[in-house]
Amino acid sequence: MLKKTWKKLRSVPIRNLRLFTARFDYLVNPRNDKEVEIVVLSGGHAVNVTAVDAAGDLLFIHQYRFGINDYTLEIPGGLIDPGEGPLTAAKRELREETGYSGSDWTYLGKIPQNPVFQDSYIHHYLLRNAALTDAVAFDEAEDIELVKLPLAEVKAGLFAQRFEHPHTVHALLLALREMQEI
């Protein structure tokens, strides 16, 4: 596969959108040498956690998602705060959204959040032997319910499209491979 270089001519900020800043990037398409204007959302990197408790159940959150005006069943996660490393953020997000924590962490890798128009990545973690240790601490815009699912139900749910959030699907596949369940 050929990897062609897209020359960036300039970037022009559009506006701050709270979680993102929007900009126009002007690039030269190497296929036809034409200048194109592309919208890019620039935001922070994020984390999510596939957490398994001592009983072997996986922790999910049932959370309202504004973009689809509905709730999704997904694994806990969120944005990495400025100056915070991915593992620290994963531990914080899990604790805030579920009250669970633990010490048996495995880094599973990262993927672009949405490479079509975003410049950030999401880091995936697996936590084994998660235990309830704290009270939850939701953000103002969060409405979350903790849901525990047995491993067999999670595996079946993956292929029955029960999990709609693409980051959850990707993280679960990596976690199941790490756990030698697929």
| Domain ranges within the chain, ordered by starting residue | 7-43, 46-178
Q: pTM of the predicted model, to two decimals?
A: 0.92
How far is the C-alpha of 51 from the C-alpha of 98, rounded, in Å? 10
Domain spanning 46-178 has what CATH number?
Answer: 3.90.79.10
Please state the rounded mean pLDDT for residues 81-105. 97
The pLDDT of residue 1 is: 81
Q: How confident is the model at residue 84 (pLDDT cuts 50, 70, 90)?
A: very high
Please state the rounded mean pLDDT for residues 11-19. 90
The pLDDT of residue 182 is: 80
Helices (H), 33-128: 86-98
Q: How confident is the model at residue 82 (pLDDT cuts 50, 70, 90)?
A: very high
Is-contact 167 48, C-beta < 8 A?
A: yes
Please state the rounded mean pLDDT for residues 174-181. 96
The pLDDT of residue 23 is: 96
